[in-house]
Chain A
Amino acid sequence: MDSTVKFLGVLEIMDRAGHVQSRTRVEHLPFRIGRALDNDLILDDPYACAHHAQISADEQLQLIDCDSLNGSFQGDEHSRRAQIMLGSGLELRLGHTLLRFRGIGEQIAATVPDPLARSRWLSLDRLAWALTAMLAGVLAITTGNLIGSGQPIRMGALLGSAVPPMIVLALWALSWSVVNRVVAHRFHYFGHLTIGACAVVAGTLLESFSAYVGFALGGAAVGGLTTVTGALLISVVIFGHLRLISRGRARALLLPSALIGVGFLALSFLPSAADERFSSEPKFTASLKPPFAALREGRTSTVFYEDAASVWDAADAEAAEKEGNP
């Protein structure tokens, strides 16, 4: 009887779905299997005998049934066997317990690279980044409020105005983190916070930038361009959040992110209630920035009033539309 320790294979206990419940190394022979506590593999199965079977070797490893009450079976077979030759991947049934033998020479699959491990987004999950991004967000909001304020500056009030958006941001990041925890058993709060804060900064900058562009071109509408860029920004932010959560490949996340961006775009082009309401006052929505931002040359008054003929025509057209369709 060879009782030296030597790795001969692995016995896996499996559930009905084929998932491995436990693995036990077969390191000496005979290797005894049964319900009794002195076995090498103890089965928690009332249909298994105290000493149900054992693995021994003749020329090849084999399972020998020890005259068990309910027998030992190979794979799905219905006839009990006194002995079963063990090969790699062979499935066995002892009582109600399913076992699988894995031979020593069995090839295992190549390691799958972790898509997230290489993700640059994960590097955002640091306290330092989160704090920096939050600080930039506070700066963007207070600067916006400072420039827009018509009152003498009170720093306390200005900083206070940035608090509600930051609370919303913190809750936003928390929601994503909780989803992350539930779905992927990971918690990247700082990562989500950094992405959210960067979005606030980018959104604020985008708004100012488009206002300046609009003004520089003489008040030509850049609303459409701003909306498209805004939708793009939303897509990128959603992609970032998903990237922190998902184990899938980055390419698979592009579609849902893009769809959310497109959804936002569609919503912004829907006519709003305010557009439908009739106003007896003109709406001045022009951007007005300091003169240095007025890049285009001014028109001569002849050209301006020729171009302005369009508004008279538009008013005529609107009046005609109503008359034609009372």
Chain B
Amino acid sequence: MRLNLIRFLIVFLAVSSCAHAEEWTTEDVFSRHKESVVQVRIIDAQGGAKRSIGSGFLISDDGRLISNFHVVADFIHHPADHRAEWYSSDGSSGELTLLDVDVVHDLALLQAKDLSGRKFLAVESNLPNMGERIFALGFPYDLGLTIVEGTYNGLLEKSLYERIHLTASINPGMSGGPAIDRYGNVIGVNVATAGNQVSFLVPARHVIKLLNRDDATTRGELMERIAQQLRDNQAHYLEALTSTPFVTTQLGGYRVPAAIAKHVSCWSQTNQDQERLFDQTELSCQSEDDVFLSGDLSTGAIRYVHVLRSARKIGVLRFWAQLQRNLRSFYGDFGGDKSSVTAFQCHQDFLQHDELKSMLLLCVRRYREFAGLYDLVQRQVSLNSANRALQSTLILTGVDREHGLKFARRFAEEVQWTAP
């Protein structure tokens, strides 16, 4: 705890000392910070070569580094098969060990061997002004230390997880590198890009939060911390969602949940094919981002799709045969393998809620590494009309039993039949 206090003071002092000093040029940023930014390499223990690369930056004079969780994820999940190394642009390198992570905000705190005594970066928790010049540092495509310049465009409005929108070319390999304001302080950590100069940063205040926690001493403790972070995160956002009335919209004769929160965005599409056998309108909604767990497993997202189908040039039996085919051909892009998740277990039955009779199917699988967390798929097909049917699919990833059940039930009950 005392160590944390000291660390916090260092950060604070660094922030204070640098505030409102002279404005740095691109050359200043590069030359003054180049030895504080390193490449983070995850090495395959068998092959001895790089498995993945990212960037990181020094945050204390005793060799502590900040990088992204997703850069070191392989090292966390399979520590026996990998090792982590830092590599500096001056040619020096050394070993890295893991101290702590913030999986929800995609941050990792690492301890670098043989890297103490170097200059470290100061963190600025206040956000820059809109349009302010920002510099991002990192090692794109393993090309060597690179600096890119861009503009600050505020926090993402529609994101479940706080992200800074930066207009700059952040490329693969720069993840975990620092984003620096014009006074030379870190205001965020490079994390993702949508291409075409649309890039995202983790705000620096989450770095400060991570620094102020005790380090995890064992891998078991670290994994439990990740599980706890995921559980807290889902409890937080699902409680927020269920505590307010759902925003619903009319779809055919039904009322269905629409954009139920700011971070959920919906898209709609109607089949215009002249040859179609039935009319089909689709309303799909999803949260804008999720939490990266491993290369093929993400969590903490909410997705739902309502598809309204009305028979057009098709008899009742054929119409329902098509609905059955649509029900069965499901692909949720879940990812995960036998070692990380269980198989899905399903339950199905008829549901009668208010005026609407429907068939309801609920499938659940559990995360093996993270206790108490599940993925959930719920599908509901209305049974109140022979030639019109609403099929709603809800997907929740990384939720606990209590909140998952509560939300799934609320969601099913919000689907209403309104027209006679």
| A311-B327 contact in complex given A148-B321, A218-B350, A286-B361, C-beta closer than 8 Å | no
Q: Interface size class for chain B?
A: 35 or more
Question: In the complex the two chains form, is A284's CB within 8 Å of B335's CB?
Answer: no
Question: In the complex the two chains form, is A298's CB within 8 Å of B362's CB?
Answer: no
The count of chain A contact residues (Cβ–Cβ below 8 Å) is 45
Contact of A319 among B325, B342, B349 (CB under 8 A): B342
Q: Give Cα distance in the complex from A82 to B357, angstroms.
A: 104
Mark out the residues of chain B between 328 and 355 whose CB falls within 8 Å of any chain A CB in the assembled complex.
Answer: 328, 330-332, 334-338, 341-353
Q: Give Cα distance in the complex from A281 to B364, angstroms.
A: 10
Residues of A within 8 A of B351 (CB): 298-301, 304
Question: In the complex the two chains form, is B357's CB within 8 Å of A219's CB?
Answer: no
Listed stretches A128-136, A167-175, A289-297; interface member: A289-297
Q: Is A307 an interface residue (CB 8 A)?
A: yes
Question: In the complex the two chains form, is B348's CB within 8 Å of A218's CB?
Answer: yes
Q: List 11 extra interface pairs beyond A152-B313, A219-B348, A315-B366, CB under 8 A.
A: A151-B277, A278-B337, A280-B334, A281-B344, A284-B330, A291-B384, A304-B360, A308-B347, A308-B405, A311-B364, A315-B364
Residues of B within 8 A of A290 (CB): 316-317, 319-320, 386
Question: In the complex the two chains form, is B350's CB within 8 Å of A296's CB?
Answer: yes
Question: In the complex the two chains form, is B345's CB within 8 Å of A323's CB?
Answer: no
Q: What DSSP secondary structure best describes chain A's contact surface?
A: loop
Identify the 4 closest CB pairs spanning chains A and B, nearest first. A298-B352, A282-B344, A282-B363, A288-B324
Residues of A within 8 A of B320 (CB): 288-290
Mark out the residues of chain A between 269 and 322 whose CB falls within 8 Å of any chain B CB in the assembled complex.
Answer: 278-292, 294, 296-301, 304-305, 307-308, 310-312, 314-316, 318-319, 322
Residue of B nearest to A313 (CB): B345
Question: In the complex the two chains form, is A281's CB within 8 Å of B317's CB?
Answer: no
Residues of A within 8 A of B362 (CB): 308, 311
B381 CB to closest chain A CB, in angstroms?
6
Question: In the complex the two chains form, is A147's CB within 8 Å of B401's CB?
Answer: no
Q: Give Cα distance in the complex from A288 to B329, angstroms.
A: 13
27 A-B interface contacts by CB (under 8 A):
A147-B318, A148-B318, A148-B325, A150-B277, A152-B275, A218-B348, A219-B361, A278-B337, A280-B341, A283-B344, A285-B328, A286-B359, A288-B381, A289-B320, A289-B324, A291-B383, A291-B385, A291-B386, A298-B357, A299-B351, A300-B351, A301-B351, A304-B351, A305-B408, A308-B347, A312-B345, A318-B343
Residue of B nearest to A279 (CB): B343
Question: In the complex the two chains form, is B330's CB within 8 Å of A310's CB?
Answer: no
Q: Give Cα distance in the complex from A53 to B386, angstroms.
A: 96
Residues of A within 8 A of B377 (CB): 282
Question: In the complex the two chains form, is A292's CB within 8 Å of B350's CB?
Answer: no
B65 CB to closest chain A CB, in angstroms?
33
Mark out the residues of chain A between 212 and 241 whose CB falls within 8 Å of any chain B CB in the assembled complex.
Answer: 218-219
Question: In the complex the two chains form, is B336's CB within 8 Å of A284's CB?
Answer: no
Residues of A within 8 A of B75 (CB): none
Query: Which of B322, B379, B383 has the most chain A CB within a 10 Å cutoff?
Result: B383
A321 CB to closest chain B CB, in angstroms?
9
Q: Is A29 an interface residue (CB 8 A)?
A: no
Q: Give Cα distance in the complex from A191 to B5, angstroms.
A: 93
Q: Give Cα distance in the complex from A80 to B159, angstroms.
A: 120
Residue of A nearest to B413 (CB): A301
Q: Is B358 an interface residue (CB 8 A)?
A: yes
Q: Give Cα distance in the complex from A87 to B261, angstroms.
A: 112
Q: Give Cα distance in the complex from A305 to B406, angstroms.
A: 9
Q: Is B374 an interface residue (CB 8 A)?
A: yes
Residues of B within 8 A of A219 (CB): 348-350, 359, 361
Mark out the residues of chain A between 119 and 157 whose CB falls within 8 Å of any chain B CB in the assembled complex.
Answer: 146-152
Question: In the complex the two chains form, is A284's CB within 8 Å of B346's CB?
Answer: yes
Residues of A within 8 A of B335 (CB): 280
